[in-house]
Structure formats: structure tokens, C-alpha cells
Amino acid sequence: MSSPSAISRKLSKDFLWGFATASFQIEGSTDVDGRGKSIWDDFARTPGKTLDGKNGDLATDSYRLWKEDLDLLVSYGVKAYRFSISWSRIIPLGGRKDPVNEKGIQFYSNLIDALLAKGIVPFVTLHHWDLPQELHDRYGGWLNKGEVVQDYVNYAKICFQRFGDRVKYWLTFNEPWCIAVHGYGRGVFAPGRSSDRTRSAEGDSSREPWIVGHNLLLAHAHAVKLYREDFKPSQGGQIGITLNGDWTLPYDDSSENIAAAQQAMDAAIGWFADPVYLGHYPEYLKEMLGERLPELTPTELSVVLGSSDFYGMNTYTTNLCIAGGDNEFQGNVKYTFTRPDGTQLGTQAHCSWLQDYPQGFRQLLSYIWNRYRTPIYCTENGFAVKDENTKPVEEALSDHDRVQYFRGTTASLLAAAIEDGVDVRGYFAWSLLDNFEWADGYLTRFGVTYVDYETQNRYPKDSARFICQWFKENIEKDGPTEVEGIPVAASGLRAADAHLVHAVMA
């Protein structure tokens, strides 16, 4: 007979796991059934904006092949599927006075119905970077608080009205940091605004990202307010925001670099999480930006504070932090993967910004739990194998480095939940499919399923098999049990007095 501790080392039977995608990255069919343009359509078609010169017009053809993708999810045995809705399919011109596209609504309604029929929970993102182009042209998009907040809330309202009877998990935004910084600071994502005139004829990287971030917070908060007041009483769902942010470690044990690691967290995570969960911007952000950081008025703060039922966590890697530099988007901190002794933090991915360091995943979970005291859903986590795009399909399917990445992440997930008392309730690997990886085009592959872009055939990789088997083995099947005499539901209380501090890792 198994010992109680052996039985308890599993996730709750209610734990949601599955895979994630985003509308523009997989759907294609950009001019089909009344869809309007998003800011990514023409941006991706502009020479020099994607590494391979390709765009999202076809992607993985999932608007047409969604039933095949559903079959894939069923074969993997997932409990949930995180996908995003294209605002431009629902309201082609985007605005609150613009016509609604019934064909777009029908597409997502059919998908939701089919998921539920197969016992798969829809976990829906309302906005994954694809603002309707018309709203950018009409009034500046996310730069115009007076207009865009109202238009976004109207779009959200339509989704709540048409899908909310069946959708019980909503995400307002995916990674507002990326929208603001990459879209309006660095200029590498749509709409591509930047002070760098080699990238953009328009933009002010010193001010626009902070304005956009502020407006995204308000749009999120007002959509949540609407949902809670008008829809949650009858629909009973949950709503939150998903934020990107990777764990940071000091480069060495100097006080400057220890402080730098926290500055980086404040700039990446605290910028959005602190207002939502704590009611203010991080002090370091206010100190760094001064009057360039828009003020949260008392009226705005009353809507923003507490405007998320959970913490949506997108994370991929860990960075070593060195004090100094003028990169405000990283908190005036330099990132590196190279330790003082010259060794690398972990296995290098295809993209330069990602190495495998599973310990950081556990540490980040604990940091977020102890700082914000909010249930966590890991809404994205994944790895792009180096040069996978150049490998024949048979070789690409044996994705050892990605398997190792998920082996480490899942072990850290279990340890955080069971040993550290973190209230983590879901995990979505990125991504279900190889797909259009934004500015990287199709050169970077994050999928657990290989996509042959010539034929659109899908082939499961070893990583898909690993993840499916792991969750099959590590989720309770027979209801709640106990962890050393403490019910699972209450086990998070054991960490109530624990405060994770940045420490130098050997």
C-alpha cells in the first residue's frame, strides 16, 4: 500500500493542463468570412519585419483545419485548451459603433461547443496582440485612452454575451508588457512604433510604451468590472490577465547586482502586477520614470486594484542580472546567461533570449505567490529547439532538448505546489503547434506538434508524449487527499510566512 506522502505528491484532480495558441499565429484565413485587418496583417507583410520575410496569411491554416486541431487535443488527452479570439473577426473595424461579424462569432462558438463536447475546458484570451488595424488608423489605437478603452470593453462585452454561457475562464490580455515595449518602444512588433528612425518614422520610445501600458491596464480593469457586474452573477466564470516575466538572479553576490535582479522584476512583472494586486506601481518604476509614468488616479485605481481573479503567468527562462545600462524596459539592468566562471546557465534555445533553467520556474512561482497571494495559472511555458527548422521531420520529432525543458519545468511545478505551498491551478505548454512566431516568422518552432508548412500535416513530437504522460501520472484521480496531514486545498497556508528572496545560485 502506498504511503500517504507518496499519494499526496500529485496535483489536485481539478488542476487544468493543456496547450496554448494565439489566433494570429495559427488561424490564417486573414480575409475570409468578413474578418477585418489586424495591426499584424500589413506589418508582417512589410519587408524586413519578419526574419524569413513571411507573414500570417496562412499560418497553420487552423481557421480551416480547426477540427483536425481538436482531434489532436483529444488524442493528447488534455483537460483544457487556451486559445485567443481575433477581435477583427468579431468586429472587423473594431469600434463600439461598428458592425458585428456573425460569421466570426459562429466560428468561435462552434469551436467552444466542440471543445466542451469532448470534455475540454475552453480557456479564452480576448486579446493576444492583434488590435484591429482600423482602430490604430482611426485614433492611434492603444495610445488613445479615451477611445480604445471603450472600444475594448465593448468587444469584451460582445464576447461575454455570445460565449460566456459556456466559457468559464477568461484572460483579458496576453502580455501587455510585450504590446507596449515591442510595439511602441523597440518597434519590433506591430504597430512598430519606435524612436529608432531606422525602424519607424513615428514613435517616442521614452514615453509611448508607458502610456500604452497604462491604457492596457485600464482596458483590462474596466472589462473585468463589466464582467463581474453584468455577467459573472449568471455565468459564474473567472477572469484575469496574463503577464509575461522571467525569473531574475543576481550575477554575483554584490549588493548592486542583488538590487538589479529586483529592479528587473519590477520592470517586467511589477509594472502590471503591482497595480492589479497591490494597488500601486513599483517604487523603482516611479523613481526611474518620474513624470513619464502616467499616474493612476484614485478613480482609476479603484477599478484596477483587485481586477484579476487569478495570476496568469507566462514564463520561459531565467536571466542573470548585472546593474547598469540604460535599458528602462529591463529596469536599467543588463541580462546575461553567462556566469562569472564562464559557464552557461542552461541549454541554449533557438532564440537568443531563452535558455533552460528549471529551478527558476519554481522560484518564480514562489515569488509570485508570496508577493501577490493569488492563485496562479501558468498560461505559457515552452522551448524552441536550436535549428529545429533546418532538421528533417523525423529528426525534429525527437526533440530531446524540449523534452528536457519540460521535464525540469514539470518537476519544478510539482515541487512548488507540494513542497512550497504555491496555489498553482493550471499549466499550458506553449505551443500546441509550430506556428507563425511573430517577428521570427516560421524559423522558430515552439510546438509540441511539428507542422509541415508545405502540406499543413501535423506530427506529434516526443515532447507532446512526455507532457501528456506526465500529467496523466501526476494528477490525482480520486478527489482531494492530504499533504502531511494538511488538506491539499489548504496546503498553501504553509508558505504564509515564507518570503523568497533573490539569492545567488551556485
Q: Annotated active-site positions, please?
A: 175, 380
Q: Which grid coordinates are listed for 107?
A: 466560428
Q: Tell me the C-alpha distance between 228 and 220, whole Å.
A: 12
- The reply to whether omega before 75 is within 30° of 0 (cis) is no
Give Cβ neighbours of residue 400 (< 8 Å, ≥ 6 apart).
385, 462
Q: Tell me the C-alpha distance between 169 and 112, whole Å.
A: 12
Q: Under a CB-based contact definition with an 8 Å cutoff, are residues 111 and 105 in contact?
A: no
Q: Under a CB-based contact definition with an 8 Å cutoff, are residues 67 and 110 in contact?
A: no
Triad 281, 129, 249: Cα angle to 5°: 50
What is the helix (H) or strand (E) element at residue 277, kind and residue range?
none
Q: Under a CB-based contact definition with an 8 Å cutoff, are residues 422 and 495 in contact?
A: yes
Q: Under a CB-based contact definition with an 8 Å cutoff, are residues 246 and 175 in contact?
A: no
Give the CA distances from residue 231 to residues 109, 220, 374, in Å, rounded to whole numbers and listed in that order: 18, 15, 22
Q: Tell me the C-alpha distance between 455 and 437, whole Å.
A: 18
Q: Which grid coordinates are listed for 263?
A: 529592479
Helices and strands in the chain: count of H runs, count of E runs: 19, 15
User: CA nearest 431: which of 456, 417, 415, 451?
Assistant: 451
On the CB side of 261, CA atoms within 13 Å amount to 24
Q: Under a CB-based contact definition with an 8 Å cutoff, are residues 429 and 467 in contact?
A: yes
Task: Kindly calculate the radius of gyration of the chain based on its CA atoms and give it in whole angstroms.
Answer: 22
